[in-house]
RNA sequence: GGUCGGGUGGCCGAGUGGCUAGGCUCAGCUCUGCAAAAGCUGCUACAGCGGUUCGAAUCCGCUCCCGACCUCCA
């Protein structure tokens, strides 16, 4: 079976065929670092992290580029005096724009690390590529797809629409509508047509971020940095371009336009878009109070949740829905995900304890295990369907627990299928989904010491239980529970696990 | 208003023509000093109304509702 990807530009699942065999280039629109990272934003990057990891698992040599936008992203309406987001924040807080950039870039990285995502191969910044952006503007002008008005340069969308059938494809926009748009032209408007957009903007007197360019002292338009950096690091044509659904228009559509204007072709073969994270069925909105930050999720300090959730529980919650679907974040669902995640993780740990005296079995149990794992991987090939893949693993949890309980005979499974299961769980859970066992945090030395200590405590409790000294045995259990160590009595003795 | 995507059991969430998704919750049972854990069993849904079909959650039409985008947004 081969990997199939839902391509936004064709609205169809397509077999993934990289431009260069064995290699994959992926560009994902990163955050604009003007404030703390949005939890919805995190979902998008967790999704692409999973996609990156799966491509790596499949053996592709992947170059994963995710940018940091630190200039050019405007707030408000360009025509009526918009302000750069970074600039505005810097002005409000009376700091250097680069201080704003530094603070929120570090914050973003910190949250990404908590969610156990891999770093991209390259994480370029817009301000580090001003020269290239100026060059691209020039290139677009040379090809006749842009015009200058009083120091600002605009992309001639109308010309592109007339000459090439590339604009509007991604967002499903009808170009006729764009051409006849009757939006009122506001004062100061320099564009020939409302569909045109700025690629170089002349800086006003008080604008903090500015660079010298042939047209004016100014700054690049939003959209441009992605075109420049994707082209620079992945080439004029590359495999995958990703981002949030809300970037389809105008951001990605304009990227395609610029890229065509400069290079004469469209940039990416496959466009992937993640869907929005909702909260309590509605769009997250700061102004409406329908909002929660990653920190609040981890601390539990929010009116929207009843308790704290660990980063992995939240990540698991994300993974239970397909990246292309909207997902509703709420307290009950987070709680359900947390429990499910723990159960899965415990089954994984249980699995790793299992072994068989039979090297290889051909009994139904062995076949069931081998096919279950195979199915879990096949779901991944179907447009990274993690929810279905997880469902296959959950189905195996019961089998694992029964083997551990002696209700099923491990020798009917045989070592070979057990090894396949162990490897499969490890590959999926740890390598591909990017989950980590938070209870296993700490150094190996500490874990060994803790483990020895727990063996002693469990042994003492066992003694008390044999003596029917219930107060003592319950005190041990309850005291441990109070510090989040749970004891689980089973047929094979008592196990312990850290967690609430 | 325009464009696109959705409405699935108590909750979340997969699923595009026939076969049990899965998780959580809940109930009963087994195990157990009690509890938890673990296991077993049960809970059969697809917004509404028409239509196509031997057969539809899945295709078509209409209605209602929700979300996203429409140059701030992952």
What pLDDT score does A26 carry? 97
Check if residue A281 sits with its Cβ under 7 angstroms from strand B.
yes
Task: Identify the weakest region by mean pLDDT among A185-189, A220-224, A295-299, A491-495.
Answer: A185-189
Across the range A108-129, mean pLDDT stands at 95
Check if residue A499 sits with its Cβ under 7 angstroms from strand B.
no
A185 has pLDDT over 50: no
Check if residue A66 sits with its Cβ under 7 angstroms from strand B.
no
The mean pLDDT value of chain A amounts to 88
Instruction: Answer with the residue of higher pLDDT: A137 or A184.
Output: A137
Q: Where are the domains of chain A?
A: 19-274, 279-438, 443-498
Residue A432: pLDDT band (50, 70, 90) is: very high
Task: Identify the weakest region by mean pLDDT among A51-55, A170-174, A218-222.
Answer: A170-174
Task: State the ipTM, two decimals.
Answer: 0.91
CA neighbor of A160 nearest in space, from A174, A146, A172: A146
Q: How far is CA A303 from CA A213, A238, A300, A306, A331, in A?
A: 49, 44, 9, 7, 10
Chain A 44-63 contacts with nucleic strand B (CB below 7 A): 44
A374 has pLDDT over 90: yes
CA neighbor of A276 nearest in space, from A33, A116, A39, A118: A39
Render pLDDT for A421-431 as a digit per residue (tens, 0 to 9). Answer: 999 999 999 99
A379 is in an annotated binding site: no
What pLDDT score does A12 carry? 85
Check if residue A385 sits with its Cβ under 7 angstroms from strand B.
yes
Check if residue A490 sits with its Cβ under 7 angstroms from strand B.
yes
What pLDDT score does A439 carry? 65
What pLDDT score does A469 carry? 93
Computed from CA positions of residues A367, A370, A374, A377, in that sequence, does the dihedral angle turn out positive or negative? positive
Range A150-166 burial, b when 16+ CB lie within 10 A, else e: ebbbbbbbbbbbeeeeb
CA of A490 and C1' of B32: distance in angstroms? 9
The count of other CB atoms within 10 Å of the CB of residue A60 is 21
What pLDDT score does A488 carry? 87
Render pLDDT for A9-21 as a digit per residue (tens, 0 to 9). Answer: 888 889 999 999 9
A80 has pLDDT over 50: no
Instruction: Answer with the residue of higher pLDDT: A143 or A92.
Output: A143
A226 is in an annotated binding site: yes
Q: Smallest Cα–C1' distance to nucleotide B68: which residue has it?
A: A246
Across the range A382-392, mean pLDDT stands at 94
CA of A279 and C1' of B40: distance in angstroms? 37
CATH superfamily, domain at A279-438: Isoleucyl-tRNA Synthetase; Domain 1 (1.10.730.10)
Range A213-227 burial, b when 16+ CB lie within 10 A, else e: bebbebbbbbbbbbb
CA of A109 and C1' of B36: distance in angstroms? 38
A29 is in an annotated binding site: yes
Per the rule left: phi > 0, alpha: psi between -120 and 50, beta: everything else, A188 is: left
Chain A 83-122 contacts with nucleic strand B (CB below 7 A): 85
Q: How far apart are CA A196 and CA A194, in angstroms?
A: 5
CA of A249 and C1' of B60: distance in angstroms? 30
A19-274: CATH, from 3.40.50.620, 3.40.50.300, 3.40.1160.10, 3.40.50.1970: 3.40.50.620
What pLDDT score does A287 carry? 67
The nucleotide whose C1' lies nearest the CA of A317 is B12
Check if residue A81 sits with its Cβ under 7 angstroms from strand B.
no
Percent of chain A residues topping a pLDDT of 90: 60
């Amino acid at each position: 079976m081969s990997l199939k990807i839902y391509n936004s530009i064709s609205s169809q699942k397509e077999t993934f065929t990289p431009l260069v065999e064995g290699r994959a280039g992926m560009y994902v629109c990163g955050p604009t670092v003007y404030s703390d990272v949005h939890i919805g934003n995190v979902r998008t990057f967790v999704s692409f992290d999973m996609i990156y990891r799966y491509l790596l698992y499949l053996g592709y040599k992947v170059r994963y580029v995710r940018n940091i936008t630190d200039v050019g992203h405007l707030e408000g309406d360009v025509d009526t005096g918009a302000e750069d987001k970074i600039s505005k924040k810097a002005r409000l807080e009376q700091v250097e724009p680069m201080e704003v950039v530094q603070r929120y870039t570090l914050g973003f990285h910190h949250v990404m690390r908590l969610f156990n995502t891999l770093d991209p191969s390259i994480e370029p910044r817009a301000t580090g590529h001003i020269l290239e952006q100026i060059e691209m503007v020039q290139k677009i002008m040379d090809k006749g797809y842009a015009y200058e008005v009083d120091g600002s340069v605009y992309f001639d969308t109308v010309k592109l629409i007339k000459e090439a059938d590339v604009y509007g494809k991604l967002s499903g926009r009808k170009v006729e509508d764009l051409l006849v748009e009757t939006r009122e032209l506001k004062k100061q408007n320099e564009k020939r047509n409302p569909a045109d957009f700025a690629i170089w903007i002349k800086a006003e007197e008080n604008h903090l971020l500015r660079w010298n360019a042939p047209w004016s002292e100014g700054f690049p338009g939003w959209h441009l940095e992605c075109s420049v950096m994707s082209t620079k690091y992945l080439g004029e044509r590359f495999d995958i371009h990703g981002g949030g659904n809300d970037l389809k228009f105008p951001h990605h559509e304009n990227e395609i336009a610029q890229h065509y204007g400069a290079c004469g072709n469209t940039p990416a073969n496959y466009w992937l878009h993640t869907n929005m994270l909702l909260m309590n069925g509605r769009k997250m909105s700061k102004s409406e109070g329908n909002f929660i930050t990653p920190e609040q999720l981890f601390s539990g300090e929010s009116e929207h949740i009843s308790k704290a959730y660990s980063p992995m529980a939240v990540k698991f919650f994300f993974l239970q829905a397909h990246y292309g679907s909207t997902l509703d974040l709420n307290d009950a669902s987070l709680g359900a995900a947390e429990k499910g995640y723990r159960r899965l993780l415990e089954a994984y740990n249980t699995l790793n304890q299992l072994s068989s005296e039979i090297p290889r079995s051909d009994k139904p149990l062995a076949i069931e295990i081998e096919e279950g794992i195979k199915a879990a991987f096949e779901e991944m090939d179907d447009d990274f369907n993690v929810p279905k893949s997880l469902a296959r693993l959950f189905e195996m949890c019961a089998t694992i627990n029964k083997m551990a309980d002696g209700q099923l005979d491990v020798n009917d499974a045989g070592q070979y299928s057990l090894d396949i299961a162990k490897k499969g769980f490890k590959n999926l859970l740890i390598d591909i989904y990017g989950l980590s066992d938070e209870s296993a945090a700490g150094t190996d030395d500490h874990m060994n010491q803790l483990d020895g200590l727990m063996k002693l405590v469990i042994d003492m409790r066992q003694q008390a239980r044999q003596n029917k000294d219930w107060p003592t045995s319950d005190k041990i259990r309850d005291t441990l529970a109070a510090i989040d160590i749970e004891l689980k009595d089973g047929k094979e003795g008592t196990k312990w696990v850290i967690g609430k």
